[in-house]
Structure 1
């Protein structure tokens, strides 16, 4: 017999427990309410006016957006896309107040039964996407309650159409595509307004899992998900049976292309400008992403494209050398000498085994990788993690490609104004966003030597003064002896000061810094343009042992080219508001003098020495390999073990510099030939300068001043060299 009283007591107890639970939940929700975000600014992005960066000719270089999206009004989004979204994600969207209680309770019951279900409405998803920090991503009751509360607040503040518009313009579709407009361009190369029903269903299907249903990587899975969306549209009366059957059979037909994030032809330059602008704008009350500032730069688009092409062309050829030296298959056709070099070295040296035989270095690379850290986080011990990764062929190949990818930086400056005309921070911004022009600090090697010789000339030394190059040694502050070595010795063991720089003789340079003083050399370098990096005033500074940036070195050479006048590198010339009103003018009037940092006569003498380096010294590849006949002067640089290659070239209207190396300084070009700045960085600069002269970006007829008597000395030197060749004598 059923005990009715007992059943009633149980029912009352259950109802009381349920009521108590509801009241406790309501109380907890009230406690959480102050900790949920304000929803007032949900549609603020609709009115954002991103700032733009312009080149010197007014063409667009970059657009500064907070996220890569273009806001699209709801009326411009095809109705079938909206139908697909609601039918698939939230078919009671028009009825619920932000939370679909029926769906939420059903989802909870199924989850408790072991079948995890999602019960979020579109409004809840919008809340989660719009306020990820405030709401969080943890899978717990607190996060879910905060999400529901925020969704209810959104529904009270905005109309259903505004909620749909906000959702479709902010949701992520992967590949850094936010919003339906950017998604349409990324996956189908068309504006959202032209999406077909099948294309729209594909994009809506992607929202369930942007990785799982990625149509680029998993086309069949994406097609199945698209058909689920079409079936939901059929179920809810948004698609006819005939249309469903016709569309269900169609292939995906993607036209995939990652979208340019608004950084254009000079992405590293744009990043450098953005860093500066963010610091400038905030204290003045401007928002770079919403106030529509117009920023005009000094970049010359023609020269920038030339620089991009030069870096790509020369680094591709050099990468083939690195691939052989580090045991990678290149598979690329190489030009003339490079191909012959690779073939010859591959026959005579076991390069293919070099990577595999340097176990200690490889183990260090593995231990520094994020994959190794991830295995340790999973609980693996160090030895097991190392062994697992060393045995993973795919990982080791990817690691080798990452570590042995050559990088480069290139910058060009107008010495008359300091205007930065071209800036290439790396070979490819998508593969390496790190800027090797301004942010990277590397030892400059012999490109630092002109500062030593400049200090010597300023002290009154004669360029024709002779030095003994044999057995040179200097005692360092710690008591040890420093014995610099030269690549090539002179027949009589003697060298003039001039030839010391022309042929980059360390023995002469060491004696000069010993006489002039390292502190004076450091001071001159800083005055000329090395103004950010600290310089250690020690004798080895003469050989470029203190790390500096490429931008600083090019700026210092620009001061020399400007006959001793320093002008800070000019990235931005003007900033205006959205209405065109100038907010800041940075470009000085034409003809404005710079800061006097070197006596003009000394600068002209130093230019003459650096002319010699190009005409008959370490930089003569500019003439012989690149056929440049204009009046130029410059210096090569190579650091220990061929870690860094440098070259900086001065022309009266343009100073161009390049650095070449690996991101990890432990990886080097083993070749004594290709590892030198004269055979890597010089080719980048030579390639760019030849094109700049050919396209008349700079005037080939422009000339530097010549110091008194230099022309006569050049005549007698040329005559003497011709006589020595005639009688069979060598010329050093």
Structure 2
């Protein structure tokens, strides 16, 4: 910088400082005089100053309370708390699939609740309930005095307790002044909106009673096997006694404490005239007589679908200002209740048969015995084994000790050898999900094998390779020699794919290679098309959530994917190469039928040229007419125009089958949650485990005419080799459901 400019800047700063210095000095003197004046007023206060000081404390308190009001539930939210209007989930054909309730509760009006329950509650928790307006000031003051003296007591009214129960997140439970003030504000709001009877009804229907029982109706069923209107005075006193501390006074686990607490409640009822004269002495000598049976909310028609839908709907409701538990939303879904029922029946029929086979292969004399190394590995994964090792036992000693426990062996064997399956069906014309069964029993296994499970798809992945080849100009009649193949991988590894049959050394067409699922021909085609191209096409066609490793073995399905992705991708094939994102919901209405939102089908995305898709469909017809999927024709006598593919992974850990119809694409996966457990070389194949499930489903769907037996996937490059579809209607083949 120029020295002249530097000197000018210094002079300017010096002049500015000279002007500011007197002002700073004067300001300091003024501040000092103000502080001195304030100190003098404190030493010699005036009457006016004393009054203002005394008024400042409550004014600040009132200001603090008013500042908390916006942080408490609004009046609209409080009005909704009594409205038990769960979202109704409705199928495409108008059947109720499910209701989205926040908890396992059945709301009952006050007139259907035993009067003993109300008497016990008021006498024990808030005897001046009908006299105050949300806060019992006398009880609050008494509780505060006892707390200050070291004997902590609660002083919350029923209304305050209701405020805590309804809004645990907004109010909290910390013992702070802020929490008590927010609780009091909310209690005043509740009293201004509800009548006393409405407050009692809401309280008794929302209070928790352990074991997933919310509200007095579910509590009465859980602990006494009856409805809330039939509770007697002893049972009512027991349930009210639990409100002080559910776990402490649990009549199942702590019956002695529960009995003492029940008698305390009876004492309060007697004190305030709620019992007949002389009744107390007899009542306190009676036992609890608990009839315990946990109550579980029954799953809906499509529970795994509902579980996924609940997540989606919660996000939508949050963005749009709705409550899925109180606003009475009506959600119109794509599920067809008829197809859903057929899918459920087909899965139950096939998995029950496979379970019998698994039980024979994995009984306590064969698979599930301590001499089996795999079963030993299962034992080492248990908490019982870890506890034995932590206790100082050797590996062999721990295994011998656990093996000597028949109950342990049976339980471990059952947990590891339960056949599992997933099934999903999609309309390829619009992406509508028509059926979704995520496991054999949602209550026993809520894990979803349609959306959550990622398993190797085996040969069901091959159509992506063949589709890429057809898009590049290959023809079904093109040939490769059926020979041993060795493909170098990174490093010094070599991949040598094999088939069940030895190599013939003769040319084989692509049509035959896919129909008979030949790995050696597929591997040679993969070398020509490149893994990156196949992975890209699979993603475009619908495999969009799972990671695909672009390696040569990808063509044989070595990258784990979900069943939903695979069926969605096959829907792209059936839709002439146009991908449509799967859809669960068509529209949402309010409880009066007004449409709040509509969700049209996604815009189709071109993934595979239409001509290549049609060639691929035609080749996959041969899988069904004469290839690995011919059980659809020979066993199930399905003569509709369908195409598909079987899939079996290495060691028979995963079995797949996906079938395409012009109006419906459905697929099934069968296996075990632990991939080390298998059904063997025969039953572990997709053609023998997954195909029958899909075949039974289509057989029922065609018989019921839910889908059209005469619909066509498209023109064929040669005449079909099967009987005319009309014969489907004349064949009678019943399933033992």
In which range does the TM-score fall when normalised by the shorter chain?
A: 0.7 to 0.9
- Rg comparison, structure with higher value: 2
Tell me: CA distance 1:405–1:249, structure 2 relative to 1, closer, same or farther (3 Å): same
Whether the 8 Å contact between 2:459 and 2:648 is mirrored in structure 1 is: yes
Q: Does 1:80 align with 2:116?
A: yes
Question: What residue is the counterpart of 1:143 in the other structure?
Answer: 175
Question: In structure 1, how many angstroms separate the alpha carbons of the residues matched to 2:577 and 2:226?
Answer: 54
Of 465, 470, 477, which residue of structure 1 is paired with 2:478? 465
C-alpha change, 1:572 and 1:313, in structure 2 (3 Å) is same
- Please, which of 283, 287, 291 is the counterpart of residue 327 of structure 2? 291
Aligned to 1:728: none
Structure 1 residues 708, 628: closer, same or farther in 2, change over 3 A? closer
Residue in 2 that maps onto 1:701: 710
Cα distance 1:118–1:278, how it changes in 2: closer, same or farther (>3 A)? closer
1:533 aligns with 2:542: no
Q: Does 1:674 align with 2:690?
A: no
Aligned counterparts, 1:643-722, within 5 A? 643-665=653-675, 667-711=676-720
Query: Which moved further from structure 2: 384-393 or 41-50?
Result: 384-393
CA distance in 1, matches of 2:694, 2:255: 44
How far apart, CA to CA, are the structure 2 residues paired with 1:247 and 1:573?
59
Distance 1:300 1:156, change over 3 A: closer
* Distance of aligned partners of 1:46 and 1:512 in 2 relative to their CA distance in 1, 3 Å threshold: same
Structure 1 unaligned spans of 5+:
1-25, 329-345, 716-732
Q: 2:235, 2:703 → 1: CA distance? A: 48
Deviations 1:351-373 (A, max 9, x none): 2326863376336523xx6x899
SS of corresponding position for 2:581: coil
Change (3 A) 1:267 1:359: closer
Contact kept? 1:104, 1:120, Cα under 8 Å:
no
Other-structure match for 1:638 = 648
SS at match of 1:169: helix
Equivalent residue number for residue 302 of structure 2? 266
Change (3 A) 1:214 1:488: farther
Deviations 1:569-602 (A, max 9, x none): 12111123344332332234xxx98434333343
Q: Distance in 2 between matches of 1:498 and 1:134?
A: 65
- Give the superposed CA RMSD: 4.3
Instruction: From 515, 518, 521, give the equivalent of 1:508.
Output: 521
Query: Do 2:346 and 2:696's aligned partners in 1 also have CA atoms closer than 8 Å?
Result: yes
Q: In the TM superposition, what are the counterparts of 1:174-193 in structure 2 within 5 Å?
A: 174-184=210-220, 192-193=228-229
1:313 corresponds to which of 318, 326, 349: 349
Specify the alignment match of 1:602 in structure 2. 612
1:316-715 matches, within 5 Å, as 316-327=352-363, 350-353=366-369, 357-358=373-374, 361-362=377-378, 365-366=381-382, 393=405, 398-489=411-502, 493-588=506-601, 594-665=604-675, 667-711=676-720
Distance 1:120 1:696, change over 3 A: same
CA 1:152 to 1:677, structure 2 compared with 1: closer, same or farther past 3 Å?
Answer: same
SS in structure 1 at match of 2:707: coil
Deviations 1:96-144 (Å, cap 9, x if unpaired)? 43856657877999989xxxx988765665465445557767xxxx638
CA shift, 1:39, in A, is 6.2
SS at match of 1:672: helix
**Residues 154 and 298 (structure 1), Cα distance of their counterparts in 2 relative to 1, 3 Å cut:** closer
Q: CA deviation digits over 1:537-578, x for unaligned, max 9?
A: 221110011121111110111121223232221211112334
Matched residue, 1:59: 95
Give 1:76 shift. Answer: 5.6
Q: Secondary structure at the match of 1:484?
A: coil
CA distance in 2, matches of 1:513, 1:242: 91
> In the aligned structure 2, how far is the partner of 1:355 from the partner of 1:670?
19
Residues 354 and 524 of structure 1, relative CA distance in 2, 3 Å threshold: farther
CA contact (8 A) 1:304 1:421 kept: yes
Cα distance 1:642–1:223, how it changes in 2: closer, same or farther (>3 A)? farther
Contact 2:80–2:326, Cα closer than 8 Å, also in 1 = no
Q: Deviations over 1:321-342 (max 9, x none)?
A: 33344446xxxxxxxxxxxxxx
Deviation at 1:75, TM superposition (A): 5.7
> In 2, distance between residues paired with 1:170 and 1:108?
32
SS in 2 for 1:358: helix
Distance 2:595 2:381 in 1: 50
Normalising to structure 2: TM-score of the pair? 0.75
Structure-2 change in CA distance of 1:190 and 1:620 (3 Å): farther
Shift of 1:450: 1.2
Q: How far is 1:448 from its partner?
A: 0.5
The 8 Å contact of residues 646 and 691 in structure 2, kept in 1 or not, is answered as yes
Residue correspondences, number: 647
What's the CA shift string for 1:597-620, capped at 9, x where partnerless? 333343333223222222322222
Would the aligned equivalents of 1:619 and 1:635 in 2 still touch at CA under 8 Å?
yes
Q: Is the CA contact 2:569–2:579 (under 8 Å) kept in the aligned structure 1?
A: yes
Cα distance in 1 for partners of 2:595, 2:189 equals 38
How far apart in 2 are the matches of 1:529 and 1:286? Answer: 32
